[in-house]
Amino acid sequence: MSTTFLEARPVDSDWIGWLKCKLAPTRLREVRTAIFVAGVVLCVIISMALQVPELALSAYMVFFFSQKTKNLTTIAGLVGLIGLTISIGATLLLYKFTYGHPELRIPVIAIAVFLGMWLSRVLVIGVLGFVVGFVVAYSQSIAEQVPSPELIVRGALWLWVALAYSIGLTVVLNRLFLPASAEAQGHKPRPKSLWKPDAFTNPAHVQFALKVTFSAMFCYLLYTGIDWTGIHTAFITCIFIALESTEATLYKGMLRILGCVIGGAFALFSIIFLVPHMETIASLIVLVATVSAIAAWVATGSERISYAGFQIAFAFFLSMFQGYAPDTDLDKIRDRVVGILIGIAVTTVIFHYVWPERARPTPASPVTQPQ
């Protein structure tokens, strides 16, 4: 993936022609875009009707776990459910010792980030380690915002429900409607071990995990110290944009900025001009389906632009879905965008000056790191 991002820039100045080429329609792209839109719409209907919290995360899981083939989507979904269950169980256990004790919670967050990012590099199914590390670290990072242990336990269990049903829905939709022809194109040999060949001999894996941990913890301590929890997306950004090489991480950060700006602009326009006139869930579904289609079309393209599509969806969902009623609070959009920009800046500096790692070709694995 690092090499792909490194080679992502057009080789000449014809940006318009390059972009048209990357956005050109194909049959597979049309089907995958329809699957993405259907999944997001169903998440909105289910979560709104049953009042399942964390709708933004439920909707984004449709993008996060959809792969190019049925088998890869199924593998990613099963691994994600296993990782989610393990991480929620570990979180509830850790809350017994860390809730109300920041001197214990901060080291736990750092250890969870380090282990999650290290495992994402050394495991063939790296998404398992990534999910466990991220969910544990993030759930610990928001503990001080919850006023009672009962509420934090309920929140963790509802988080499992919100993510699990969305992952299951994504797998079902892809298995039902994704063309079989995509399966043959995406066929790869099965790995013989859970660990990559250089898992315990290559110091770059540990260095990579340490760089991500430094970035994420700096952002966490920053927004906690200045009491601006609204920019907690800085913490998430440091973890989600990290790739093996410095060039790949920086290019991914650029795509994240672009996608965030577009998604945030869609949300800002919607909240100011459209949401105040919405009276039924039908109008919300039309709006969400339209933006999801745009984001999905970009996300189902080549890896040279696809990450921008994921960020359009991510920024739009986080800004739009704040409850079960229309939300016109523009401060949330501002805070999330500021947090993303801070996370990108911190990651850029650390990856550029601390153990810079240059891109090198590596064999692909079935499910390594999430998009």
Residues 153-174: tens digit of each pLDDT? 898 899 899 999 999 999 999 9
Distance CA(108)–CA(113), nearest Å, equals 9
Q: What is the mean pLDDT of residues 84-94?
A: 93
End-to-end CA distance of the chain: 10
Residue 313: pLDDT band (50, 70, 90) is very high
Running DSSP on this structure, what letter comes out for residue 190? P
Angle between helices 233-240 and 203-225 (to 10 degrees): 170
* pTM, rounded to two decimals: 0.83
Distance CA(315)–CA(308), nearest Å, equals 10
Residues 193-240: tens digit of each pLDDT? 788 888 889 899 999 999 999 999 999 999 999 999 889 889 988 988
Residues 19-64: tens digit of each pLDDT? 888 888 999 999 999 999 999 999 999 999 999 988 988 999 999 9
Query: Is residue 365 a contact partner of residue 124, using CB atoms and an 8 Å limit?
Result: yes
What distance lies between CA 53 and its chain's CA centroid? 18
Distance CA(357)–CA(170), nearest Å, equals 35
Among 318, 299, 302, residue whose Cα is nearest residue 310: 299
Give the burial class of 339: count Cβ atoms within 10 A of its Cβ; 0-12 exposed, 13-18 middle, 19 or more buried: buried
Residue 222 has a pLDDT of: 95
Residue 8 confidence (pLDDT) above 70:
no
Query: Is residue 223 a contact partner of residue 232, using CB atoms and an 8 Å limit?
Result: yes
Distance CA(223)–CA(235), nearest Å, equals 9
Query: Is residue 53 a contact partner of residue 146, using CB atoms and an 8 Å limit?
Result: no
Distance CA(227)–CA(187), nearest Å, equals 49
